[in-house]
Structure 1
Amino acid sequence: MDRRELADFLRSRRERIAPADVGLPAGTRRRTPGLRREEVAQLAYISIEYYTRLEQARAPHPSHEVLAGLSRALRLSDAERDHLHHLAGAPPLPAAGPPRAVRQSILDLMERLPQAAATVTSASFEILAWNDLAAALMEDFSALPRRERNFVRRVFLGPHTNGQRLYGVSDADEFARNATQRLRATAARYPDDPEVAELVAELLDGSEEFTRLWQSHDVSAEPSQRKTFQHPLVGPVTVNCDALAITDRDQQLVIYTAAPGSPSEQALRLLSVIGTQSMDVTR
């Protein structure tokens, strides 16, 4: 535990936060910028005396619970939270399961891609976020229960609309194989997560194909860079598929784009207008 560095770090983080940032009145008798020590203690649910000793480099090792409270009170970023833990001599505990919170900057980026479909998936293939064009290309994920918003569950267990796996993508079988390999690696990273264990058990019980692939114990996979969706309204849509790792969240941002000037680009433009509305295509 580096008491002096910890004290200086806490003080610097406290002084950068305006009272209004955490819903406190500014008042008229503040002699220093930022929050008062007692305000941080209150927000972190610890005693004023103990927090004061932390900033005076006189306190004993803080617990993980105290560090979590300080991280929340001081609105620390992920990197700052980890730094706080290391200064306190208590390395951050590994996440129990795949992180589900998507950074706001990623959500903003997705909305700035009007001609591209984009999704964010967790390490267990849960669909955490999507833009409007992704919903139009695949389905309205907001209408599904959370447990059904999962690509690996869908490719193995369905529903298979019109007999087509995973929205009729051309690489469904390859995706199934790669997803199994990545899910095995995820299960090893999060051995105590009940949702990952439940997903694997459900797939083993419900899919002979998954069981066969799972028992191969392969853990490396190369994702497909190009695929074709069979869309019920606009027909085949061929897209480039670029998966960008969000390493600090163990997530993937997947962006689907069509070649400029291609029929698939025109199809995506049409889908951006149609959205997820139902249309009678029999007339």
Structure 2
Amino acid sequence: MTTMARDAAARATKAPAVRSSCIRRHELAAFLRSRRERITPEQVGLPQGTRRRTPGLRREEVAQLSAVGVTWYTWLEQARDIQVSVQVLDALARTLMLDGSERAHLFQLAEAVDPTPAASCTGVTPALEEMLRALEPIPACIQNSRYDILAYNRTYARLTGDLDAVPPEDRNLLILVYTHPDWRRAIVHLEETRRLIAAKFRVAMAGHLGEPAWKMLVKRMTAESPEFREYWERYEVTGLRNTRTKQFLNPYVGLLSLDHTDLWLNPESGARMVTYVPVDEESRQRVAELHELAVPAERD
């Protein structure tokens, strides 16, 4: 085969891939425009204004809210061949208020892997889900080393309010403890809890410093929570204790004193089942009452 023939064959082989990539870029651009145009300025805390011709948000507003350059975002909507990081995709998904299906579609079009727990609950087998149910009325959940809550039983769902109402991508202990109103009200020793979880998270992150999901979480927390930023900048570290007593002021049944226990499922990945066993008879009765309140939510 001559050199010219080989070059022609190579171009023919690459052509379908090039066309596919081009189609994806145009689909991504169209999808972003459609999502941008459905969001009103009021939904993201911007004034409506009197001379707004564009339906929904302007490109520069999306860029500003997502902390990216206006020119770069414009190129993205023009289907130009540019690289898009998972951090930027995550920021765009939040700015455009994408639901779970829309978020998955965004990452698929960008040919990227969504690093949030909403994308995959790796390691939660049917057997583990059955164990969570069997532990009722004891509140229990499964967490990974990043403190994402991957699965939980009905009593745990009502331990601090209504965990079912929290978007899956926000079911993370750092996010909940530092930013969620229900959790902040329910945790009796809030500041101690915040300090300890920041110190434990720093220890856990030492083995994941180059992973986007971990860096994205820290970036989000430092931006959204001055309290987290303060504790994070102290560089405190502490190890995990398998058992300790915690107190919650539950909005449905009152004060609960519970022994928190970590049951390690996979020490290498940090996966663990977390249980909360009542330490006294009053807490035991209240946990049973909480379970009775939580079960109808599952039937509904």
Shorter-chain TM band: 0.5 to 0.7
Q: Which of 224, 227, 244 is matched with 2:246 structurally?
A: 227
Name the counterpart of 2:153. Answer: 131
**Matched residue SS, 2:151:** strand
Name the counterpart of 1:239. Answer: 258
**Residue 171 of structure 2 is aligned to residue 152 of structure 1:** no
Name the counterpart of 1:192. Answer: 210
More helix by share: 2
Residue identity matched to 1:199: L
Aligned-residue offset at 1:119: 0.9
User: Distance in 1 between the 2:295 and 2:175 partners?
Assistant: 22
Aligned-residue offset at 1:150: 1.0
**Residue 273 of structure 2 is aligned to residue 253 of structure 1:** yes
Superposition map of 1:197-212 within 5 A: 197-212=215-230
Q: For structure 1, which segment, 141-150 or 221-230, has the greater mean C-alpha deviation from structure 2 after superposition?
A: 221-230
Residue identity matched to 1:136: R
**Residue 200 of structure 2 is aligned to residue 182 of structure 1:** yes
Superposition map of 1:257-276 within 5 A: 257-259=277-279, 262-275=281-294
Structure 2 unmatched ranges of 5 or more: 1-114
Superposition map of 1:1-283 within 5 A: 100-158=122-180, 160-161=181-182, 165=184, 167-223=185-241, 225-246=244-265, 247-259=267-279, 262-275=281-294
User: Relative to structure 1, is the Cα distance of residues 130 and 200 closer, same or farther in structure 2, using a 3 angstrom cutoff?
Assistant: same
User: Distance in 1 between the 2:131 and 2:296 partners?
Assistant: 24
- State the aligned residue count: 178
Aligned-residue offset at 1:201: 0.5
Residue identity matched to 2:246: K
Aligned-residue offset at 1:116: 0.7
Tell me the alpha carbon deviations over residues 48-105 of structure 1, each in whole angstroms, 9 at most, x when there is no partner: xxxxxxxxxxxxxxxxxxxxxxxxxxxxxxxxxxxxxxxxxxxxxxxx9998432443
Aligned-residue offset at 1:155: 1.3
Aligned-residue offset at 1:207: 2.1
User: Relative to structure 1, is the Cα distance of residues 139 and 232 closer, same or farther in structure 2, using a 3 angstrom cutoff?
Assistant: closer
Aligned-residue offset at 1:221: 3.5
Quick check: 1:136–1:275 contact (8 Å CA) kept in 2? yes
**Matched residue SS, 2:206:** helix
Q: TM-score, normalised by structure 2?
A: 0.53
Q: Which has the higher contact order (CA 8 A, sep 6+)?
A: 1
Aligned-residue offset at 1:148: 1.4
Quick check: 2:160–2:251 contact (8 Å CA) kept in 1? no
Structure 1 unmatched ranges of 5 or more: 1-95, 279-283
Tell me the alpha carbon deviations over residues 192-233 of structure 1, each in whole angstroms, 9 at most, x when there is no partner: 322211110111122222222212222223557112211122
Quick check: 1:114–1:133 contact (8 Å CA) kept in 2? yes
User: Distance in 2 between the 1:244 and 1:216 partners?
Assistant: 29
Quick check: 2:145–2:271 contact (8 Å CA) kept in 1? yes
User: Distance in 2 between the 1:100 and 1:203 partners?
Assistant: 23
Quick check: 2:200–2:240 contact (8 Å CA) kept in 1? no
User: Distance in 1 between the 2:270 and 2:116 partners?
Assistant: 10
Quick check: 2:139–2:159 contact (8 Å CA) kept in 1? yes
User: Relative to structure 1, is the Cα distance of residues 100 and 184 closer, same or farther in structure 2, using a 3 angstrom cutoff?
Assistant: farther
Identity %: 22
Tell me the alpha carbon deviations over residues 17-58 of structure 1, each in whole angstroms, 9 at most, x when there is no partner: xxxxxxxxxxxxxxxxxxxxxxxxxxxxxxxxxxxxxxxxxx
Residue identity matched to 2:235: H
User: Distance in 1 between the 2:162 and 2:258 partners?
Assistant: 19
Q: TM-score, normalised by structure 1?
A: 0.56
